[in-house]
Amino acid sequence: MQPPIHEFPLCECRQQSVSALCSSFPSTKRSAVQMGDVVKDLAAGTVGGAANLFVGHPFDTIKVKLQSQPAPAPGQLPKYAGAIDAVKQTVAAEGPRGLYKGMGAPLATVAAFNALLFSVRGQMEALLRSEPGVPLTVKQQCIAGVGAGVAVSFLACPTELIKCRLQAQSSLAEAAAASGVAVPKGPIEVAKHVVRDAGARGLFKGLVPTLAREVPGNAVIFGVYEAVKQYLAGGPDTSSLGRGSQIIAGGLAGAAFWLSVYPTDVVKSVIQVDDYRNPRYSGSLDAVRKILAADGVKGLYKGFGPAMARSVPANAATFVAYEITRSALG
């Protein structure tokens, strides 16, 4: 007699397989949501970065000109008497377009830079958040800013090196004329000259002060932005804040950024515009010592006025553009 065929175990296996397949749907859905959030942060960060660049680049040009102007010979006046004089000389020599000189390099990478900044910050927020939808504390926003600052430093360094060398061409031109070397005229040409003189590593000259600026600076900017928003909202839920409050929070956050890290930006700028073949500075500490010896502490704050004048409108534009785009994307 043939033994009966038992189908229940097979049914149970099928049911278990179906159950396992169904249970995988939530994790797949979560992954899709997370990927969607990354894409939204990338898009919103790109728009915010473009707004920052168009509003703030003229101020940045003047800042770099003041930071990188050579020390005057004994008994002579500096090339620029101050920010207003730098604007006048730039416009007189190059027209208004001179204030936007060097914008090609950051414009070409602004999408990548700010997309990376805000997407890494968004992923850090997701890791730090105790439950979905729960607002982060100010401390947690600072930690998220640290992670974002580390990530963007490696993109900011070569980009800003090219930008600074273009912006400081008036002072570099004098050194180039003395050595008989032609001054490069665009971002690609600058990059080629740097690689020719120092190899690919030359594009990362000033990485240490860039990290020293971006890591604490982004901890401050995101922490202050969140703190001001929570203050204006009267609590951790800031979803109902209007654009005016976001402008205030973004402007104050930008000002706090430069107040906290400005000397490191000066060191970064002088190192990045330094001559590769006959460098004046052997490193960041040597640059600090020589700046202090030549100009005292005030030498570490050259161009501070234009930087602060830029930081409020430019960062207000960044955060508002980011918030508008992020909200529109859902």
pLDDT tens per residue, range 111-161: 778 889 999 999 999 999 988 878 899 999 999 999 999 999 999 999 999
Q: What is the mean pLDDT of residues 228-254?
A: 95
Averaged pLDDT score across all residues of the chain: 85
- Nearby residues of 117 by Cβ (< 8 Å), 6 or more positions away: 45, 49, 148, 151, 152, 218
pTM: 0.78
Q: What is the mean pLDDT of residues 42-52?
A: 87
pLDDT in tens, 158-203: 999 998 888 787 665 555 555 556 677 788 899 999 999 999 999 9
Q: How many CA atoms lie within 13 A of 191 on its CB side?
A: 12
CA 141 to each of CA 43, 106, 118, 129, 222: distance values in angstroms, whole numbers, following the listed order:
20, 26, 12, 10, 6
